[in-house]
Amino acid sequence: MSVRELVVLGTGSQAPSRTRNHNGYLLRWESEGLLFDPGEGTQRQLLFAGVPASAITRICLTHFHGDHCLGVPGIVQRLSLDGVRRPVRAHYPASGSDFFARLRYASAFHEVAEVVEEPIEAEGTLATGPFGQLRVRRLDHPVEAFGYQLVEADGRRMVPELLARHGVSGPDVGELQRTGNLRGVSLAEVSVHRPGQRFAFVMDTRLCDGVFALAEGADLLVIESTFLAEDSALASEYGHLTAAQAGRVAAECGVRTLVLTHFSQRYTEPNRFHDEAAEVFDGKIVVAEDLTRVAVPKRR
Ligand SMILES: [Zn+2]
């Protein structure tokens, strides 16, 4: 069975606490494993989550504040320790190349795994594959930051009743899918349009065009809500969002499942983030806890 789920590894901003590890998120999308913003302790959180380092196919950094990248040394060395064979791509803002070089070679180790650096120079599409397209947009934070979007191509879903009506069965179904036509029966006659799924990852930022572009039509949106609206002046000063703003983004962009995370330690009641976002967004809201797993919602 295909797996599309978010494994939350850490949810705390700035510094880890007793209940929240530094940031870290693994998106499992069939054979891809996108590790977003690994903060300190990510290697151990993967262990608690029961996910092997070999599941990682890409490391995606939004920016180079420590809570979003201090886990890179441990992860990079673990890939080699485990002898991971497939190349792991690393995406990060190109302006932080010196930081990445230091994180990657932070201490002595025997380098076996292949980490292929693909620094982000500009907005656009970073990669294309069976998963669709991996795209980035600029965010608004005191240091250069990019948010990520995974966009699956639209496809077609075969309808069993229509297949039966046209006498298509067994291996012929695959043949028709590949060729688009089989003995006078076209793909359109036996299938319906299937919209591709979308995932968006929006970390440290003020509200800006990039936030809305990334969140547009997302089945699953992971977004920082460092602050509550009562501290919106702080959010704006330090380049962050409030839960109310995150809820507004989800509502305006037609998001289905909203995951709030990256919480300031000043707050002790996580429900307040939920309640604030729920005032403007009536879809599903998950207030992320460490080791939460969130399924990409089923297709409509
Ligand atoms: Zn930051």
- The predicted model gives 247-270 an average pLDDT of 96
Can you list the pairs that 233-236 forms with residues at least 24 positions away whose Cβ atoms lie under 8 Å?
235/206, 236/206
Residue ranges of E strands in the chain: 4-10, 24-29, 32-36, 58-60, 88-91, 115-117, 124-129, 132-138, 146-151, 155-158, 181-182, 185-186, 191-194, 198-202, 220-224, 257-261, 284-287, 293-295
- Summarize pLDDT for 98-156 with one digit per residue, the tens: 999 999 999 999 999 999 999 999 999 999 999 999 999 999 999 999 999 999 999 88
- Summarize pLDDT for 154-191 with one digit per residue, the tens: 988 899 999 999 999 999 998 998 898 888 999 999 99
* CA–CA gap between residue 247 and residue 82 (Å, rounded): 40
Give pLDDT, residue 300: 74
With a cut of 60, say whether residue 216 has pLDDT above it.
Answer: yes
Give pLDDT, residue 35: 98
With a cut of 60, say whether residue 85 has pLDDT above it.
Answer: yes
Assess whether 67 carries a catalytic annotation. Answer: yes
Instruction: Find out whether 24 and 37 touch, Cβ atoms under 8 Å.
Output: yes
Ligand 1 centroid–CA 228 distance in Å is 17
Packing angle, helices 42-49 and 72-81, rounded to 10: 60
Q: Confidence class of residue 1 from pLDDT cuts 50, 70 and 90? A: low
Give pLDDT, residue 178: 87
Q: Which of 1-15, 42-56, 64-78 has the lowest mean pLDDT?
A: 1-15
- The predicted model gives 264-283 an average pLDDT of 96
Instruction: Choose, from 67, 204, 219, 290, the residue flagged as catalytic.
Output: 67
Give pLDDT, residue 177: 87
Mean pLDDT taken over the chain: 96
- Summarize pLDDT for 192-209 with one digit per residue, the tens: 999 999 999 999 999 999
Determine what percent of the chain is predicted with pLDDT higher than 70. 99
Ligand 1 centroid–CA 204 distance in Å is 5
Ligand 1 centroid–CA 63 distance in Å is 7
Ligand 1 centroid–CA 182 distance in Å is 54
Give pLDDT, residue 78: 97
- The predicted model gives 11-34 an average pLDDT of 94
Determine what percent of the chain is predicted with pLDDT higher than 90. 93
Instruction: Find out whether 220 and 294 touch, Cβ atoms under 8 Å.
Output: yes
Instruction: Indicate the length of the chain as a whole number.
Output: 300
Going from the C-alpha of 251 to that of each of 216, 217, 257, the distances in angstroms are 10, 10, 10
Ligand 1 centroid–CA 32 distance in Å is 26
